[in-house]
Amino acid sequence: MGTHETEEFTRAKSGEPAYVRIAGQLRSRIDAGELGVGAPLPSERDLSVELGVSRMTLRRALGVLENEGRVHRDATRGTFVSEPRVRLRLGSFSQEVARSGRQPGAELLWADERPADEDVAAGLGIPLGTAVYALRRLRRSNDEPLAVETTYYPADLVPGLLDGDLAGSLWDELRARFGLALARTSAELEVVVLDADDARRLGTRRAAGGLQLTRRTFLGDGACLEFAVDVYRADRVSLIIDRAVDAE
């Protein structure tokens, strides 16, 4: 029985496509530690022979695992087991990365004061043209780029913010410098395709998948203090949205 016939027989018997079955087998081997982090997978030729499927089917299975962030492919060196995704809850990036046992970092890409355009005014709930502080930062975990954050604040609520420390947790800066108590946050999560600039900054291939988190953070009196659009690498981050802002 040839490879194609074997795949058709297996599909008819199991009720699932061969590439789904193969992805499941490889996933189990990774989860069991049989294939460790950073380890190369056997060549496509060897794997297709071992698993009894065509190379096209194998590539579809590897594509599933790549989208899950379990493997990454190098055009010249082959396919390797990836580190587990970094699990982040909605909140301070710095605090969440630290809680995962990793070292957070931030690289300021730009910062300025500007009049709020329609999107920012709507996000912050302020009149069009109101002065806001805007900044964009590249966020890292153990020096690995994970997210590009673009954040806006009403300038009258945090005067001189851009003159302070913008390399750490902005929430810590807001609490320490301005005595602000963050009451709650809300967020909307979307799956997006990374544009060329974000893909380059995040060190991934062009048009790779991303997670876009649009956040609004509020004070106790209901005023919106922060409007942010964060773009994460979908293959390296899992976002958990189930918490309110704490007072840490």
Q: Does 22 score more than 90 pLDDT?
A: yes
Q: What is the pLDDT of residue 138?
A: 96
Position 246 pLDDT exceeds 80: no
pLDDT for res 132: 98
Every domain of the chain and the residues it spans: 3-81, 86-240
Residue 169 pLDDT exceeds 80: yes
Element (H, E) at 148: strand 144-154
Q: So what's the pLDDT on residue 242? A: 62
Q: Kindly report, residue by residue over 171-213, the tens digit of the pLDDT.
A: 989 999 999 999 998 889 899 999 999 999 998 887 888 999 9
Cβ atoms of residues 169 and 93 within 8 Å: yes
Q: What percent of the chain has pLDDT over 90?
A: 48
**CATH topology assigned to domain 3-81:** Arc Repressor Mutant, subunit A (1.10.10)
User: At residue 8, does pLDDT exceed 50?
Assistant: no
Homologous superfamily of 86-240 in CATH?
Answer: Chorismate lyase-like (3.40.1410.10)
* Mean pLDDT of all residues in 162-179: 91
Indicate if the pLDDT at residue 121 is higher than 80.
Answer: yes
81 neighbors 36 (Cβ within 8 angstroms): yes
The tokens describing 190, both together, are 């979307």
Alpha carbon separation from 17 to 43, 66, 156 (Å, rounded): 22, 18, 58
Instruction: Give the dihedral sign, CA 143/225/111/197.
Output: positive
Q: Is the dihedral of CA 32, 209, 227, 189 positive or negative?
A: negative
Distance CA 101, CA 105 (A): 13
The neighbour count for residue 14, using CB atoms within 10 Å, is 11
